[in-house]
Amino acid sequence: MDVFNSTSLKDLVLPSGNSSKGQNGQITIIGGSKLFHGAPLLALITASRFTDMVYFTSPEPSVGDVASKIKSSLLSFIWIPWEDREEYIEKSDAVLIGSGMMRYKKEWNDGGGDETREITRDLLTKFPNKKWVIDAGSLQMVEPEWVPTGAILTPNQKEYQRLFGDKTPAEVAKKFKCIIVRKLPVTTVCSPDKCMEIRGGNAGLTKGGTGDVQAGLTVGLLAKNDPFLAASAASHILKKAADHLFEKVGTVYNADDLSNEIPKLFSSK
């Protein structure tokens, strides 16, 4: 299996000096719930550094209230009403679904997981030709047969086990014709015809929110890049940013620090 190298970053399509507004991609992020307001915000802040426009929507009204307040200090996204979601998905180059969305948990017992399941099924099956990143709550509710061809899945260990059991990432990618990112100390990224190891990183990446940063980075790169390259590069960049932080402060950093470190890494690549 090949190991991802920083030299491969030169293959990424990034904003060029002569580009104009709108030419560097538009994405939609669907996420958030009454319990998890911050997760999609971490994703959108990270994604906004790599694409021209980020649209953000949530099925949870309280997330909209939070987003409206945040707009006073963070101007890098457009909040869209939930009822307009399909219009913005249609015109986006790539879509992230699941960050901060509700999943089943017996002590909550409020049907939030059912709503996530229905939203995920409805949108993935209605827009099978879109470039998707499926993460977090949607990964816990999705059925493998709903996954569109070429979609990027970014499961943690529990999510991977629930969906795929003991199958290897290579088996999963071939069977479901997707890109699978198995996040471990050595991450494996597989498409139906090849796999890549992503090395590096440290224990600081176990903190809450770092997966949302990775999902945002992935969808930001996916807008204008091949899914396998976007997923592999995002995993590599995240680990490199974590290693840079480790050199400065050890594991005493959080997801916000990680998101802020990524542009510094890119400027010196």
CA 223 – CA 235 distance, rounded (Å): 16
Domain-embedded: residue 60: yes
CB atoms closer than 10 angstroms to residue 208: 12
Q: Which amino acid is at 140?
A: Q
In the structure encoding, which two tokens stand for residue 183, read together? 């996040």
3 state SS of 268: coil
The reported pLDDT for the residue numbered 53 is: 92
3 state SS of 243: helix
CATH code (residue 211): 3.40.1190.20
Domain-embedded: residue 8: no
Spatial strand order in the sheet of 152-153: 2-3, 195-198, 187-190, 179-182, 152-153, 131-134, 94-97, 26-30, 53-57, 78-79
Domain-embedded: residue 207: yes
CA 61 – CA 79 distance, rounded (Å): 12
Domain-embedded: residue 177: yes
Q: What is the pTM of this model?
A: 0.92
Q: Which amino acid is at 133?
A: V
The reported pLDDT for the residue numbered 24 is: 80
Q: Quick one: DSSP state of residue 147?
A: P
Domain-embedded: residue 4: no
Q: Quick one: DSSP state of residue 209?
A: T
CA 143 – CA 199 distance, rounded (Å): 29
Helices (H), 146-226: 157-164, 169-176, 210-222
**Structural domain span for residue 241:** 23-267
CB 60 within 8 A of CB 31: no
Q: Which amino acid is at 79?
A: W
Domain-embedded: residue 247: yes
- Measured in whole angstroms, how far is the alpha carbon of residue 135 from the centre of its chain? 6
The reported pLDDT for the residue numbered 269 is: 44
The reported pLDDT for the residue numbered 18 is: 64
pLDDT tens digits in sequence order for the chain, 269 residues long: 899 998 999 999 887 666 656 678 999 999 988 777 778 889 999 999 999 999 999 888 767 666 665 654 555 688 889 999 999 999 999 999 999 887 765 434 554 578 899 999 999 999 999 999 999 899 988 999 999 999 999 998 888 998 899 999 999 999 999 999 999 999 999 999 999 999 999 999 999 999 999 999 999 999 999 999 999 999 999 999 999 999 999 999 999 999 999 999 876 44
Main-chain phi, psi angles of 46, to 5 degrees: -65, -45
User: Domain total for the chain?
Assistant: 1
CA 138 – CA 97 distance, rounded (Å): 7
3 state SS of 266: helix
In the structure encoding, which two tokens stand for residue 209, read together? 């929110």
Domain-embedded: residue 3: no
Domain-embedded: residue 229: yes
In the structure encoding, which two tokens stand for residue 223, read together? 């807008």
CB 116 within 8 A of CB 144: no
